[in-house]
Chains A and B, each alone.
Chain A
Amino acid sequence: MSTVPTRVFASGSEAGRTAPAAAARRIARGGFAALRRTPPGLVLAWLVIATVVLWALAPGLFAGQNPVAGIAREKLLPPSAAHLLGTDALGRDLYARIVHGAVHSLSGAFVAVTVGLLAGTSLGLVAGARGGLVDLLVMRLVDTLLAIPTLLLSLTIIVLLGFGTVNAAIAVGLASVASFARLTRSEVVRVRGADYVEAAYGSGGTFWRVLWRHVLPNSLTSVIGLAALQFGTAILSISTLGFLGYGAPPPTPEWGLLIAEGRNYISRASWITTAPGIVVVLVVLSANRISRAFAGSPR
């Protein structure tokens, strides 16, 4: 064995100079290769999400027209240069409505994921790390929540909280607590059994230190993957609640509501439902693609 290290340590100064330089070259090469190897689909997914986030942050930059007040004589116009995606029954520019609607869907999804992630991860972490009776109780609670279909659970919570954008978001988030809790727990249990965790206890680590240094960071990767997936699911659920009329009230340009409003005109003005639907599909598809990248599966 000794040949390799002898060469490296033969002269300390030389090793000091060449090793980091070589490492830097390797890293630079690796970075370039990594970019070249990023699947085009993933790049596209990040682009879609970035665009929609920009819509939510600064809608005025992307769409000049008023999303709420329409011009009555310009109603139900097909897509044209003046109205990229046409107009709706009240003469409002559909493109402007979609761009301005991004903030409702995105912030809703953000709230939903935050609620689910915080509540679910804490429950799962406690259950997985503590085990015993706590684990048993938490997991039976999770079983119960999982037994009720998510949409029904969201609807039940909405009935209690009342209709509205924030309430719909909270309802969707609470309905996802069980999935987060279950995944976090199984990850924690998996990591807890790993050799490196045992080794950490074996080198004198205390329960909390090992939890913080090893169990938590190694459990979180797939939880973050689930959060990305849940982001897409939340956009779908929130638009569904909006469509059913339990989310944002009109004339908010929420995407689900846009589709609901266009329903009555599908024979005459199909673009009113088609365009927002495609936007929802693209955003959800992108969120799912990013989540798979976290999970590390190629498909």
Chain B
Amino acid sequence: MSAPLLAIDHLDVSYADGPDRRRVVHGISLDVAAGEVVALVGESGSGKTTLVQAVIGLLPEGGRIDGGAIRLAGTDIAGWSQRRLDALRGERISLIPQDPGSSLNPVKTIGAQVGEILRLHRRLGRAEIREASLDLLAQVGLSQPALRLGQYPHQLSGGMKQRVLIAIATALRPSLIIADEPTSALDVTVQKRILDLIDTLRRESGTALLLVTHDLGVAADRADRIVVLRDGSVQERGPAAAVLSAPRSAYTRQLLADIPSLAAPRLRPIPAPREGPPAVVVETLARDYPGAGRRPFRAVDGLSFTVAPGTTHAIVGESGSGKSTTIRAIVGLERPSAGRILVDGLDLATLRGDTLRAFRRRIQLVYQNPFSSLDPRQTIEAIVEEPLLNFEPVARAERARRVAEIVERVGLPSGLLRRRPAALSGGQRQRVAIARALVLEPKILILDEAVSALDVTVQAQILRLLDGMQAERGLTYLFVSHDLAVVRRIADTVTVLRDGRAVEQGTVEAVFERPRDPYTRDLIAAIPGQRLPAPRPVAAEA
């Protein structure tokens, strides 16, 4: 048998950490055969990005290969000088980066950046380079390639930029493409189209793909073989179908159980709607922003929905759909341009000053990014206690008791009370944010992409926590997300937003099983992980 295209053999990689070295890749071995798609799956800190950076010889400063071999078609390139690697990169190995937004030089034209790879490796005249660049841009499906050549990156959308980067990576028909989370910064519908494009181009030229992803669903849809990484070591490897249907390691089983997929069951049966008036009523809400030219930009346009008390309503949409504007209006941080919002029977438009402040006890917001929503200078105790100081005085001992109680309830060890947010993981921080929101005992909790920034296993933990809190306290949730799979898992009713308008509304079951609007159908079809087997629940809930 001939040597595989890429063979990584017991590779160790470490980073300088002050005077010490911290090892992040521990003796990883893996092979990629010619023309094959191998997915490298892992959560943050698993060492997956470091591993591929080592393969392409572009470890960040302080990174070093301590041992092992990287063989490209039988030749060990691990010890090669940058000069030798320069001849290899672009020609035989290329890279599709993670964040298209910052992966193109902002002050150079698209033409210059696509042409650069041709100029570096081929002896071509200016006209030939231009000709070849036009072909490449047309190949990746960019409209008006001639216009694009003269444009700058900021004039293109995220999906278009990723197409340009794919054109660059496939320009010289390399034998291996490394794609590092190529779509995680993009909306789901764009994500699917980009992955399809990579697939097509790859197939045509017989290029192998090493696909780095945190999303087991993406891996399931695209890969021939899957390698699961955790803390810098391989947990499991094998053909995609085998890994997904009969995972051998406990970690993979946990990942599979936690991954929100369409096939996954709802966390709990749909509750019977409680008696009483709706918790939230939004009537023909509109919000304008001063926009380009004389016409204002309408972020939300005639949106209406109601949320029954004790249920979860999801607002789903891609970036720019008006989700954030809607919830900011509901918590009273922004005034609507038109329409009416009733929260717990109160008309927000009638609230000013102190009545608005009093209203805030009933409705609380949990932010997307747990790194920016906690004051870095406060202790966890101070963060959770703060809302109690804003209303009628509560005795110190009583405050301490309530803080300890809620912190314990959200599953944080009491030892963390005196720590600051920097000492906590992302999941722990999000628990703190939830504790802060709940300490005032609100009736309604608004979750703004509250689990989107978290790893899947942590995401699943937080979703279970939220579910438990709702059952226990009869809370009403307004759950904002771009991730339909997560919505399917937690919500009762759903509004699908597009360009500030509701394109579809109804119970989760109805919308997901029998979508009427073509956009909703697109969204559902774009969810990765359709090939995932229906997971068997893991005995995690004690």
Q: A196-B373, A199-B367 are in contact. Are A204 and B19 (CB under 8 A)?
A: no
Q: Are A209 and B415 in contact (CB under 8 A)?
A: no
- Stretch in B208-216, B279-287, B304-312, B386-394 touching the partner: B386-394
Q: Which residues from chain A contact B389 at a C-beta distance below 8 Å?
A: 209
Q: How many Å from the CB of A152 to the closest CB on chain B?
A: 36
Q: How many Å from the CB of A295 to the closest CB on chain B?
A: 15
Q: Are B375 and A203 in contact (CB under 8 A)?
A: no
Q: How many Å from the CB of A197 to the closest CB on chain B?
A: 8
Q: How far is the CA of A196 from the CA of B366 in the complex (A)?
A: 10
Q: Are B377 and A218 in contact (CB under 8 A)?
A: yes
Identify A204's interface contact among B361, B375, B540, CB under 8 A. B361
From A33, A202, A214, name the one whose CB has the most chain B CB atoms within 10 angstroms: A202
Closest to B368 in A: A195
Q: How many Å from the CB of B416 to the closest CB on chain A?
A: 9
A206 touches B (CB below 8 Å): yes
- The number of A-B residue pairs with CB atoms under 8 Å apart is 95
B241 touches A (CB below 8 Å): no
Q: Which residues from chain B contact A9 at a C-beta distance below 8 Å?
A: 408, 413
Q: How many Å from the CB of A6 to the closest CB on chain B?
A: 6
Q: How far is the CA of A126 from the CA of B28 in the complex (A)?
A: 56
Residues of B325-356 whose CB lies within 8 A of A? 331, 333
Q: Are A204 and B440 in contact (CB under 8 A)?
A: yes
Q: Which residues from chain B contact A22 at a C-beta distance below 8 Å?
A: 415
Total count of chain B residues near the partner, CB < 8 A: 45
Q: A202-B364, A203-B386, A204-B440 are in contact. Are A37 and B19 (CB under 8 A)?
A: yes
Q: How far is the CA of A136 from the CA of B460 in the complex (A)?
A: 48
Closest to A196 in B: B375
Q: A3-B542, A8-B413 are in contact. Are A217 and B377 (CB under 8 A)?
A: yes
Q: How far is the CA of A206 from the CA of B418 in the complex (A)?
A: 25
Identify B372's interface contact among A196, A201, A213, CB under 8 A. A196
B451 touches A (CB below 8 Å): no
B270 touches A (CB below 8 Å): no
Q: Which residues from chain A contact B462 at a C-beta distance below 8 Å?
A: 1
B141 touches A (CB below 8 Å): no
A-side interface mostly = helix
Q: Are B411 and A5 in contact (CB under 8 A)?
A: yes
B452 touches A (CB below 8 Å): no
B412 touches A (CB below 8 Å): yes
Q: How far is the CA of A4 from the CA of B415 in the complex (A)?
A: 13
Q: How far is the CA of A194 from the CA of B371 in the complex (A)?
A: 10
Residues of B356-378 whose CB lies within 8 A of A? 357-358, 360-361, 364-365, 367, 369, 372-378
Q: How many Å from the CB of B506 to the closest CB on chain A?
A: 30
Q: How far is the CA of A209 from the CA of B360 in the complex (A)?
A: 16
Closest to A16 in B: B414
Q: Are A209 and B390 in contact (CB under 8 A)?
A: yes
A23 touches B (CB below 8 Å): yes
Q: A2-B411, A209-B390 are in contact. Are A203 and B436 (CB under 8 A)?
A: yes
Q: How far is the CA of A226 from the CA of B542 in the complex (A)?
A: 53
Q: Which residues from chain B contact A157 at a C-beta distance below 8 Å?
A: none
B464 touches A (CB below 8 Å): yes
Q: Are B18 and A198 in contact (CB under 8 A)?
A: no
Identify A3's interface contact among B418, B433, B458, B540, CB under 8 A. B540
Q: Which residues from chain A contact B458 at a C-beta distance below 8 Å?
A: 1
Residues of B228-281 whose CB lies within 8 A of A? none
Q: Mark A11-46, 1 if CB is under 8 A from B, else 0.
A: 000010001101100000000010011000000000
Residues of A220-249 whose CB lies within 8 A of B? none
A60 touches B (CB below 8 Å): no
Q: Are A194 and B357 in contact (CB under 8 A)?
A: no
A205 touches B (CB below 8 Å): yes
A200 touches B (CB below 8 Å): yes
Q: How far is the CA of A202 from the CA of B445 in the complex (A)?
A: 12
Q: How far is the CA of A5 from the CA of B428 in the complex (A)?
A: 11
Q: A3-B542, A36-B19 are in contact. Are A203 and B364 (CB under 8 A)?
A: yes
Residues of B within 8 A of A (CB): 18-19, 331, 333, 357-358, 360-361, 364-365, 367, 369, 372-378, 386-387, 389-391, 408, 411-415, 418-419, 433, 436-437, 440, 458, 460-462, 464-465, 540-542
Going nearest first, the 6 A-B pairs with the smallest beta carbon separation are A1-B461, A19-B415, A204-B390, A203-B387, A195-B373, A5-B411
Q: List 22 A-B contacts (CB under 8 A).
A: A1-B458, A1-B461, A1-B462, A1-B465, A2-B411, A5-B408, A5-B413, A6-B542, A8-B413, A19-B415, A36-B19, A194-B372, A195-B367, A199-B365, A202-B360, A202-B364, A202-B365, A203-B440, A213-B375, A213-B378, A217-B377, A218-B377
Other A-B pairs beyond A204-B390, A205-B386, 11, CB < 8 Å: A1-B465, A2-B464, A2-B540, A19-B415, A36-B18, A195-B372, A196-B374, A201-B333, A203-B387, A203-B436, A204-B358
Residues of A within 8 A of B (CB): 1-6, 8-9, 15, 19-20, 22-23, 33, 36-37, 194-196, 198-206, 209, 213-214, 217-218
